[in-house]
Amino acid sequence: MRVLICPDKFAGTLSAVEAAEAVAEGWRAARPDDQVVVRPLSDGGPGFVDVLAAALGGTRLPVPTVDPMGRPVAAQVLVAGDTGYLESAQACGLHLLAPGERDPKTTTSYGLGVLVTAAVEAGVRRVVIGLGGSATNDAGAGMLAALGAAPLDTAGYALPYGGAALIAVAGLGGVPRLRGVELVAATDVDSPLTGPHGASAVFGPQKGASREDVALLDAALARFAGVLEKDLSTCPPGLAGLPGAGAAGGIGAAILACGGRCESGIGLVRRLSGLDAALDAADLVITGEGSFDAQSLRGKVAAGVAAAARDRGLPCVVLAGRVTAERSESAAAGIVEAHSLVDHFGDEEEAMARPAEGLRELAGRVARQWGS
């Protein structure tokens, strides 16, 4: 049997690469004669660089930068050919903050701008930025500041970091220093920047925003969008309402304002990893993620993999840390089975503490079932 293993990350425990290898090890131990192909995946969030490095090779450049609170943090730029790949989560990720530190009124995307600068300095012609898992809601204002376009108040002074300060923005202190490099946002979030479906309303509460904070941030980002349209010749009209502008707390808007574009994160990874060719040659597909829930069936990696498998008449199995998605909805999405580490161990703490071991055991059990 030809088995394709293509999971997303298991957030908080395993990268997509680590999860894929654990599943592959378990399967090979149970059915050593099967042909096992590994294609770890990402939709642009945490793990994006690791997944692309596994697919493309290239060179990883270490870059010291700062986290959403301005503290030092280590990150990387992957250079492959004339393109630099980086992920916002390495500098802006929610996982970099303790729960009590989450405050999208003050967190900044400045560290991402440091990463973009490093990629530009490396001589690439294009920078692809994986967006997802961010702790920020500043519409990329911090990123732009690091690139030389700091938001200013009416007196011409630079504003403090964070989304809330943008309520007083009046202009920019320059233009982004990109040297003609193209920016591409890799994301599967198509939210606009503002409004009831925008960055502040939809994602702000996940980052620590209260109802009052959401209203303030939405107004601040609307004001900032107007400034970007006024001060950047590369900014498209109607920025606040464009699909993808709300990705990663509005970093999508900053990328669009720099003349960049949005591209499907999973689509890009699927193309660069050769997933379609691997699907064409498979008999069985295994995907997974940390929590397989109702959201997983609405545009996340597992849903994309299941749809591609279904189109080819292939069975798709999900291995996850936790499974709460309805069985009927999963079946309609093309998933024939879903197994969880929590059920396997009978305990959530054990599932979190021993995810690789659990995936090896779970994969072995599923392999024996499919081989019987």
Predicted local confidence at residue 107, as pLDDT:
98
Side-chain-side CA neighbours of residue 118 (13 Å): 23
CATH 3.40.50.10350 residue window(s) in the chain: 2-39+274-371
* Closest to 190 (Cα-Cα) out of 90, 295, 109, 263: 263
Tokens of 353: 């503490």
Query: Which CA distances in Å does 368 have to 22, 30, 222?
Result: 16, 6, 55
Spatial separation of the C-alpha atoms in residues 372 and 365, rounded to whole Å: 11
Per-position DSSP letters for 31-94, written without gaps between them: -TTSEEEE----SSSTTHHHHHHHHH--EEEEEEEE-TTS-EEEEEEEEETTEEEEETHHHHBG
Per-position DSSP letters for 135-167, written without gaps between them: ---STTHHHHHHTT--EE-TTSPBPPSSSGGGG
CATH H superfamily, domain 2-39+274-371: Glycerate kinase; domain 1 (3.40.50.10350)
Q: For residue 56, give every residue at least 6 positions away whose Cβ sits within 8 Å of its Cβ, in sequence order, or none.
A: 78, 80, 272
DSSP state of 295: G
Side-chain-side CA neighbours of residue 292 (13 Å): 30
Mean pLDDT by groups of 10 residues along the chain of 372 residues: 96 93 98 96 92 96 98 98 97 96 98 98 98 96 98 98 98 97 94 97 96 98 98 98 97 98 93 95 96 82 91 96 93 94 94 96 95 72
Q: For residue 105, give every residue at least 6 positions away whose Cβ sits within 8 Å of its Cβ, in sequence order, or none.
A: 137, 162, 163, 164, 209, 213, 216, 217
Tokens of 110: 């400045």
Spatial separation of the C-alpha atoms in residues 239 and 46, rounded to whole Å: 26
Q: For residue 327, give every residue at least 6 positions away whose Cβ sits within 8 Å of its Cβ, in sequence order, or none.
A: 338
For the entire predicted model, the pTM comes to 0.91
Spatial separation of the C-alpha atoms in residues 329 and 130, rounded to whole Å: 28
Q: For residue 318, give every residue at least 6 positions away whose Cβ sits within 8 Å of its Cβ, in sequence order, or none.
A: 286, 287, 288, 292, 302, 306, 330, 335, 337, 338, 339
Does the domain formed by 48-265 have CATH 3.50.50.60? no
Q: For residue 47, give every residue at least 6 positions away whose Cβ sits within 8 Å of its Cβ, in sequence order, or none.
A: 8, 9, 15, 16, 17, 40, 87
CATH 3.90.1510.10 residue window(s) in the chain: 48-265
Locus of tokens 């001060």: 231
Q: What does pLDDT average to over the chain?
A: 96
Spatial separation of the C-alpha atoms in residues 258 and 178, rounded to whole Å: 9
